[in-house]
Structure formats: structure tokens, C-alpha cells
Structure 1
Amino acid sequence: MPAAPKRVGRRERNKQEKLDRIMAAAGELFAEHGVDEVTTQQIAEKADIGAGTLFLYAKNKGELLLLVQNSTYADALREGTAAAETTPDALEAVMAIIGPVVACNRKQVDNGRTYLREMVFGDPSEPHHGAALDLTVQTEQAITAVLQRHEQIDLKTAATLAHIIAAIMFISMAVTVNIDRSVDDILREIREQLQVLLPR
């Protein structure tokens, strides 16, 4: 007889409910005003919790942004990976993975660029920063898997190419010269670089 599923206690339910309220409040305020214009006090008030409670879930505003953006990045990566599974061409499959990630990062350009800065320069011991770094690893793994379908690319080469491709994607999203460019413009720039990089 299978074991009954473990019940989640009231304390854990309360913690999850507060976390959900924090994510919703921060996400809404960041989207409406931009991360630089929002205070942690505003987020706490919108989430209907005390400021001290807020800092139990995220140490600072950068970690709050990571908390919110990690969720949308993970959704975008799942969408792109699923699309890549039915795309036989290596370049098109890689672009299928990259497209939703770039689109989610550019929904609010300043927030997206701040998110990338937090990923690079944030405290790796913080859990939300660690989760963001794990998403970059998952991105490279998804690209590696796609590239391995190409008969000319072995595992080591695929992993190296995936690392380069991820760097191209992140730089294209982060550089100041691209701040006013559309998602399509950025994807076109990435595609042009990958056409040189990948075997056809």
C-alpha cells in the first residue's frame, strides 16, 4: 500500500502564502514602476506584511528582483525547451530556446538589465542568486542537448558552444547600446552571430 502523501503543516502553508504575496506585490510594483523606483517598504505594504518579515524571504531589493524574475525565466526556459524538441534544425532549435528567454527579460528593460547585473555581481550565497545561476546552467544544458543532435558535434564541443551561445545571449540583452532595441532586433543580432558559430 503506497504511503499517504505528507501533509503540509500550517506553518509551511503560512510561509508559502506570504512568499506568494511578496512575489505578487514585488512583481506588480516592479513591472509598473521599475525596480529602481520601488522601495522594500512599498513591497511590504502591498504584500500586507511587516518590513522585517519581508527580509526573512529576501535580504534586499536585488534578491527580491531575482525572486520574481527567476520564476518568469524558468517559465520561459520551459517554453523554449519544449519548442526546441520539435525543431530539427540546430540553429532554429537554439533560437527556439533563446526566444522566450529574451522576450521575458525585455518585458521591462531596466528590470531585465538589473536582473542580469544581479546575476553577475550578486551574492552567490543568497538562495535567489543561486537559483538564478542554476537557471543559466539549465539554459546551457538545454542548448547542449539540442546541439548534440547534430552529427558533427560531440558532447564536449556542444557544451563549449552552449557556453558561448549563452554568453552571446546575456551580453546582447545587457549591453547599453541595445537598451532601446526590440526583442526581434536582439534575436536577429543573436541569430547573425550564431549563423557564423554553428555548423550547417
Structure 2
Amino acid sequence: MRSGHMPIGRRELAKQAKRERIMTAARDLFAEHGVDGVTTQQIADRADVAIGTLYLYASTKAELLIMVQNEKFAAAIDDGLAAANAAAGQGALEPVVALIRPVVEYVREHIENGRTYLHELVFGDPVEPYRNAGLALAGRLEDGVTGLLAQDDHIDAADAATLARVITAIIHLSTTATVYLHRSDEAVIADIRDQIHATLAPHHRAA
């Protein structure tokens, strides 16, 4: 009996293997040296592919960074959503903080890479496939915050979406601004928590 899926050909398998080698090489080199300390030629050499082949998968070093960081960003959002569900019933603040904690930790895992990644998402070409995927992840995070805020009886749906945009801006600034770079993750998260609390407080006082 035939399955409903066509078998993957050798050419496609070879492409997948090359992409995985490039991804692994870029991930390891960025972790070891930071994005500014790595060249595309070094990534190609580590992946054992020609530089022209590498450019078929990502045309710039920035795209390679985004490709790598997108996977980490997606995993951080998954972890955050699970933590937010576990914190349900504690009002809006604690679930939102639970959601963003893994994201903050991921961005700050390697400060240079995290700052460059967020800068590229905000200021780069949004139609580039990897940036587009990263922006979709940012939208998923914002939607997650919106959903948590909408569960608060004091916040209506329209305000929840606007507040979520404000909160994601707070996260972006607090994880990339130079003044925060030498603080610990816990200090940064505590500061973000205070900012979110102040942002939500007027809605609770007005109730």
C-alpha cells in the first residue's frame, strides 16, 4: 500500500544535510566568538561547503545569525507559554513574567548575538525569509502576552493588544540597551517586572 507522502530524493536529502551542517557551524561559531568575530568563510569551512553553496542558503552573515537565533527564539517562546500556563490564576502580571523570562534569558545568553538579532529583525528587510520568520515569532510572543492580559477582568481586548505591544517594547529595550548589559538576568527580569506592573497598574486602579 502506498503512503500519502512522496519519498525524499537523494538530492533533497543532500540539501537538508548541507543546511544542517551550515546551521550547526554557524551556531557553534557564533556561540564561540560572537557574530562580529566570525566570517561567512569560517562558517563555510566549518560546515565543509563552498562559500557559494553557503550563499544559496543564506546570502549574508546576518541571515545566518537570524536562521540560528530563530530556532532559539521559538524554543524560548514555547518554554515561556508552558510556564505562563503553569502560573495561571495569579492575575496577569505573574503569567506574563513567566512567559517572557525564557525569552529574556535567551536574548541575553550571548549579549552581542542577541542585540544584533533583535536589531536585524527591527531594521532589516522584512521580506527576507529568515527575518520574516523571526518577525512571525515576535508576533507570536506578542499574541501570547495579549492572550494573558485579556484574561484579566480589568483589561479589555483592545487594551490588551496595545499593552502587549508596550510590554514587548519594554523587553526589547531592557535586553539591548547598553545601560543594562552588565546586569544579571535576574536584575533585568526584576526591572522588566516593575515596568510591566507600572504599565498595568492604571487599569487596576480604574476598576
What is the TM-score normalised by the length of structure 1? 0.95
Cα distance in 2 between the residues matched to 1:93 and 1:8: 42
Q: Which position in structure 2 is the counterpart of 1:27? A: 27
Return closer, same or farther for 1:11/1:170 CA change in 2, 3 Å cut-off: same
CA shift for structure 1 position 198: 1.7
Q: Which position in structure 2 is the counterpart of 1:49? A: 49
CA shift for structure 1 position 7: 2.3
Q: Which position in structure 1 is the counterpart of 2:132? A: 130
Q: Which position in structure 1 is the counterpart of 2:5? A: 5
CA shift for structure 1 position 10: 2.2
How high is the sequence identity, in percent, across the aligned residues? 49
Q: Which position in structure 2 is the counterpart of 1:164? A: 166
1:23-102 aligned within 5 A:
23-88=23-88, 89=90, 90-102=92-104
Cα distance in 1 between the residues matched to 2:7 and 2:167: 43
CA shift for structure 1 position 59: 1.1
The amino acid of 1:135's aligned partner reads L
Number of residue pairs the alignment of both structures matches? 200
Please state whether the residue corresponding to 1:28 is helix, strand or coil. helix
Cα distance in 2 between the residues matched to 1:167 and 1:179: 17
Residue-by-residue CA offset, 1:124-156 (whole Å, 9 max, x unaligned): 121111111111100001111111111122221
CA shift for structure 1 position 5: 3.0
Please state whether the residue corresponding to 1:64 is helix, strand or coil. helix
Please state whether the residue corresponding to 1:104 is helix, strand or coil. helix
Cα distance in 1 between the residues matched to 2:132 and 2:84: 26
Moved over 4 A (4+): none
CA shift for structure 1 position 118: 0.8
Matched, 1:143 2:150: no
Residue-by-residue CA offset, 1:97-119 (whole Å, 9 max, x unaligned): 11000111111111111111111
Q: Which moved more, 1:41-50 or 1:78-87?
A: 78-87
Cα distance in 1 between the residues matched to 2:6 and 2:38: 39
Please state whether the residue corresponding to 1:150 is helix, strand or coil. coil
Please state whether the residue corresponding to 1:19 is helix, strand or coil. helix
Q: Which runs of 5+ in 2 are unaligned?
A: none
The amino acid of 1:185's aligned partner reads A
Give me the CA root mean square deviation. Answer: 1.5
